[in-house]
């Protein structure tokens, strides 16, 4: 996913505020799921499940600035019974500015507890296309 850095994304020093990298990654995961055929709203409405962040490890490697064009790369590192580990990178050209490993848990919204990822979802997420 490509994004442009806007003024609202920057701090007083003119660089992207650190928490905004997490927002960029959240959007990229949502669009990645959409490209795989899943709308988060449809998962809620039709299956009463949602994916929520359970764990996050992040490394800040560089600074993005106003008007930079960034690429957010998202891939699945591992699919567990009730969780998915995403590997994400924010790049400006070939330079990596931010890396994260994000573990999301599949939760049953009625029970407010972790639940197994439905097989149909697991299969589609595991496919290369």
Query: Could you write out the DSSP letters of every residue in 8-25?
Result: GGB-TTSBB-HHHHHHHH
Q: If you average pLDDT over residues 101-128, what whole number do you get? A: 93
Predicted confidence (pLDDT) per residue in 3-12, tens digit: 999 999 999 9
How many domains does the chain contain in total? Answer: 1
Tell me if residue 108 is catalytic.
Answer: no
Q: What is the mean pLDDT of the chain?
A: 95
> Which among 9, 11, 59, 68 is annotated as catalytic?
11
Q: Which domain holds residue 107?
A: 2-126
Predicted confidence (pLDDT) per residue in 59-104, tens digit: 999 999 999 999 999 999 999 999 999 999 999 999 999 999 999 9
* Residue 106's CATH number: 3.10.129.10
Predicted confidence (pLDDT) per residue in 7-64, tens digit: 999 999 999 999 999 999 999 999 999 999 999 999 999 999 999 999 999 999 999 9
* pLDDT score recorded for residue 129: 62
Say whether 23 sits in a helix, a strand or coil.
helix
């Amino acid at each position: 996913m490509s994004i442009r850095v806007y003024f609202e994304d920057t701090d007083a020093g003119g660089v992207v505020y650190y928490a905004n990298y997490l927002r960029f990654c959240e959007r990229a995961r949502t669009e990645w799921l959409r490209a795989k055929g899943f709308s988060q709203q449809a998962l809620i409405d039709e299956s009463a499940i949602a994916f929520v962040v359970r764990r996050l490890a992040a490394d800040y490697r560089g600074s993005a600035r106003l008007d930079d064009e960034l690429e957010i790369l998202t891939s699945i590192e591992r699919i567990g019974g009730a969780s998915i580990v995403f590997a994400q990178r924010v790049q400006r050209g070939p330079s990596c500015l931010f890396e994260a490993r994000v573990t999301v848990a599949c939760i049953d919204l009625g029970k407010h507890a972790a639940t197994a990822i439905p097989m149909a979802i697991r299969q589609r997420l595991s496919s290369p296309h």
